[in-house]
Amino acid sequence: MPTSVFSQLDKSLHEHLSDLMRLAAKADDRTAIGLARAELPRMVTALKALLDEHQPDENGRCPTCRTRRFSRRLPSPCRAYLAAHLCLTITRGEEQRATRDEATPAAPAGRRHLRSAG
């Protein structure tokens, strides 16, 4: 069965992203820094291009995702814009909390219980 061009592109992109994630997680610091310097600008450029395609119009609606010409829905970001925003901001917040929690010494068992009960 022939493979479509999209499926080939999709597979290639997902393999590249998986390789980047694997390298970032397992590489030594020097390799990770080199990887970040090489790939981060490319990733930011790709994300900006995607978000530019989904930039809301003067009515606050995404011209790429809008399905009906005269939609009366309230202005709101499209799913692509929301997904990018949530992936970048929610993950960053969780990482900051985890770093802060690791830096805070553990309270004695009794005090830890009182803190979590409030």
pLDDT of 67 reads: 66
Q: What is the pLDDT of residues 102-113, one digit of tens each?
A: 665 554 444 434
pLDDT of 101 reads: 66
Contact 63, 57 (CB under 8 A): yes
Contact 60, 49 (CB under 8 A): no
The pTM of the full predicted model, rounded to 2 decimals, is 0.63
Contact 41, 57 (CB under 8 A): no
Q: What is the pLDDT of residues 60-80, one digit of tens each?
A: 888 888 766 665 667 777 888
One-letter amino acid at 54 equals H
Question: What is the mean pLDDT of the segment spanning 93-106?
Answer: 61
